[in-house]
Chains A and B, each alone.
Chain A
Amino acid sequence: MVMRKKSPLLVEDNKFCPGCGHGIINRLLAEVLDEMGVADNTIGVAAVGCACLQIDTFGIDWIQAEHGRAPAVATGIKRCRPDKVVLSYQGDGDCLAIGMAETIHTAFRGENLTMLFVNNGVFGMTGGQMAPTTLPGQKTTTSVHGRDVTKTGNPANILELLATFETVKYLARGTVTDVAGINRTKGYIRKAVENQIEGRGYSFVEILSPCPTNWGLTPLKSIEHIKNNVAKVYPPGEVLNRTEEAK
């Protein structure tokens, strides 16, 4: 049976706020790398934002990318070291605002990479500003009256966009709101890493995650908010599986 014990890859307590979903996602990723026996040959590319806080607490080789450029940095590493597991770990602003070009083109080229995208609907580290993923009407520090979609557009759905590229092999959206959802998310991450190891090509997993600090909600209310509101705009599940395994 699966060990229910902190992964040895989680070498120190994480630095995230109370109730932050990154802690759960860190655990899932650590367990996947552990269970697959690839942690010693994995290189992580951390984004700018809260998604970089784990490079001291998560014991794999890491590189800190420039803001938004994690997929490009990952491309450089993977092209040079195709036998390593290379994964990027990004948040909303990094992956979908400043780094949208890198996100799209890395998928467009079909790099044999694993990209993890943590969607908590705000710029976390800078204090909760509006992100491309902020819900319509959601109040943030740069949308104080609520996000006005007539001026700022609708929440960006990156999975729908990436699904249009034939080079993209696997797309899934997980949550961390409950035991079943968390376990499904772990399965998505595992598939995304397996695809890379098997050389099946580009995989991208989005994970809906709470940011109680910047949402101004308690952690438990944040979980309810994801279930009742965020998941309506961003339905969880496997969106696309073009791998051989799927056939």
Chain B
Amino acid sequence: MKRELMKGNEALAEAAVRAGCRFFAGYPITPQSEIVEYMSWRVPEAGGSFVQSESELAGISMVYGAAAAGFRSMTSSSGPGFSLLHEGISYISSAELPAVIVDVMRYGTGLGDIFQGQADYWQGVKGGGHGDYRLLVLAPASVQESADLIALAFDKAEEYMNPVLILSDASIGQMMEPVSLPDLKGHDPDQFQWSLKGKQGGDFRRVTSTMYYRTDFNEYIKAKFDRIAENEERWESVSTEDAEVIMVAYGISSRIAKEAVRLGREAGLKLGLIRPISLWPFPKKAFTGFSENLRGFLTVEMSSLGQMGEDVALADRMRHPVYAYLSGDKVPDPETLVATARRVLAGEMKEAV
């Protein structure tokens, strides 16, 4: 397949269109604005509709409407804008509709800043909106993966009738790498019985919380999310079998951690890496088959508080200590990670969880 040099955000946008996305509504915010810009011409070119919405609240609502009409629909945002999407995400999940949401994470609380960061793990993974729901959360660590995961996201959203979140970050979104893209695919919104199209002589449809129409709702919805949890764990393990320190990192941080594994091993340190690709469900199945010499996990995250550590401890059933290297708005460097791993082995680090 032909490879092109593309920015992460643009590869993601192009791959979305090629996966059949024919409705996009969005609002500018750094560092995801390239997606809105790209979709503003590309979706109409592919025969779909683009709306630059007055707010993220309106944008996700437009996506809700378009998704209910059976169209592959998407929005993207970052940080403060992502906060505003959760109202609509909760409604889309409650109505059991497919949609894809992209959060190209930045750094900080409140306005925060446009710097690179991984500050939205909690908001994306733990359910930013009200109610009992989960999102399948996929975190790309390369431009190619940005393209691959967005196509998977549309398929999974329809398979489970639930929104899927792509949790990218500023570094992955802004970097340029070679990428292969699939061919352009169409999408038939009328293939679904449930899609709003006017009742056309049949029963009328009511798109709203499905809880109103099921007496077995509690059991039903639990079973649905249990099924996602069971089937959708995705991860990459690097040299974990004999590792004495296993780093856990996703997105941009995982790339540095992978380099640190290589550097550490060259220096005789038995380092490993678990890279979650799905953040929910968190890849619990990756946390087996470790060496008796494993001294602990080292999470590597671009946040201040360390948002993923608790999930690592739970996935490991708290059998090993969890340490953290938290670099805030700075991309960590591999040498520092190797040095931090040495401190773990020397017993100099305080546990993070």
Residue of A nearest to B55 (CB): A101
Most A CB contacts (10 A, CB to CB) among B55, B65, B201, B209 go to B65
Given contacts A66-B87, A79-B51, contact A73 B197 (CB under 8 A): no
Query: Is there contact, CB below 8 Å, between A56 and B206?
Result: yes
Closest chain B CB from A114 CB (angstroms): 14
Q: Is chain B's binding surface mostly helix, strand, loop or mixed? A: mixed
Query: Is there contact, CB below 8 Å, between A42 and B198?
Result: yes
Given contacts A55-B206, A60-B204, contact A76 B198 (CB under 8 A): no
A residues less than 8 Å from B198 (CB atoms): 39-43, 60-61, 84-85
A residues less than 8 Å from B64 (CB atoms): 63, 65-66, 69, 73, 76
Query: Is there contact, CB below 8 Å, between A79 and B23?
Result: yes
B residues less than 8 Å from A41 (CB atoms): 197-198, 200
A residues less than 8 Å from B57 (CB atoms): 66, 69, 72, 101-102
Cβ 8 A contact of A81, one of B197, B204, B208:
B197
Is B88's CB within 8 Å of the partner chain A? yes
Query: Is there contact, CB below 8 Å, between B69 and A40?
Result: no
Q: Binary interface profile of A, 37-52, with partner B (CB < 8 Å = 1, else 0)?
A: 0011111010000001
Closest chain B CB from A111 CB (angstroms): 9
Q: How far is the CA of A42 from the CA of B68 in the complex (A)?
A: 14
Q: Binary interface profile of A, 125-146, with partner B (CB < 8 Å = 1, else 0)?
A: 0000000000000000000000
Query: Is there contact, CB below 8 Å, between A75 and B206?
Result: no
Given contacts A40-B200, A55-B208, A84-B198, contact A73 B54 (CB under 8 A): no
Q: How far is the CA of A55 from the CA of B58 in the complex (A)?
A: 22
Cβ 8 A contact of B65, one of A40, A42, A45, A56:
A45
Q: How far is the CA of A59 from the CA of B198 in the complex (A)?
A: 10
Q: How far is the CA of A40 from the CA of B198 in the complex (A)?
A: 5
Query: Is there contact, CB below 8 Å, between B25 and A62?
Result: no
Query: Is there contact, CB below 8 Å, between B91 and A66?
Result: yes
Q: How far is the CA of A45 from the CA of B205 in the complex (A)?
A: 12
B residues less than 8 Å from A74 (CB atoms): 65
Is B134's CB within 8 Å of the partner chain A? no
Query: Is there contact, CB below 8 Å, between B207 and A69?
Result: no
B residues less than 8 Å from A243 (CB atoms): none
B residues less than 8 Å from A84 (CB atoms): 197-198
Q: How far is the CA of A102 from the CA of B57 in the complex (A)?
A: 9
Q: How far is the CA of A11 from the CA of B199 in the complex (A)?
A: 14
Is A105's CB within 8 Å of the partner chain B? yes
Q: How far is the CA of A80 from the CA of B88 in the complex (A)?
A: 18
Q: Binary interface profile of B, 141-171, with partner A (CB < 8 Å = 1, else 0)?
A: 0000000000000000000000000000000
Query: Is there contact, CB below 8 Å, between B68 and A63?
Result: yes
Closest chain B CB from A208 CB (angstroms): 27
Is B106's CB within 8 Å of the partner chain A? no
Query: Is there contact, CB below 8 Å, between B204 and A66?
Result: no
Closest chain B CB from A161 CB (angstroms): 15
Query: Is there contact, CB below 8 Å, between A77 and B61?
Result: no
Closest chain A CB from B242 CB (angstroms): 51
Is A64's CB within 8 Å of the partner chain B? yes
Most B CB contacts (10 A, CB to CB) among A65, A66, A73, A85 go to A73
Q: How far is the CA of A55 from the CA of B208 in the complex (A)?
A: 9
Interface residues of B in 64-86 (CB under 8 A from A): 64-71, 73
Is B22's CB within 8 Å of the partner chain A? yes
Interface residues of B in 23-64 (CB under 8 A from A): 23, 25, 48-49, 51, 53-55, 57-59, 61-64
Query: Is there contact, CB below 8 Å, between A73 and B62?
Result: yes
Is B189's CB within 8 Å of the partner chain A? yes
Query: Is there contact, CB below 8 Å, between B204 and A102?
Result: no
Residue of A nearest to B48 (CB): A80
Query: Is there contact, CB below 8 Å, between A40 and B62?
Result: no
Residue of B nearest to A105 (CB): B54
Sorted nearest first, the 10 A-B pairs with minimum C-beta distance are A76-B65, A76-B62, A64-B208, A72-B61, A41-B198, A69-B61, A73-B65, A79-B49, A76-B66, A105-B54
A sample of 30 cross-chain residue pairs with beta-carbon separation below 8 angstroms, ordered by A number, consists of A11-B204, A41-B200, A43-B196, A55-B206, A55-B208, A59-B199, A60-B199, A61-B196, A63-B68, A63-B206, A65-B65, A66-B61, A66-B64, A66-B91, A69-B64, A69-B87, A72-B57, A73-B61, A75-B51, A75-B58, A75-B65, A76-B61, A76-B62, A79-B49, A80-B49, A80-B73, A81-B197, A84-B198, A101-B55, A101-B58
Given A41-B197, A69-B58, A76-B68, 14 additional A-B pairs, CB 8 A: A41-B198, A55-B208, A62-B204, A63-B208, A69-B61, A75-B51, A80-B48, A80-B49, A80-B65, A81-B196, A85-B198, A102-B54, A102-B61, A105-B53
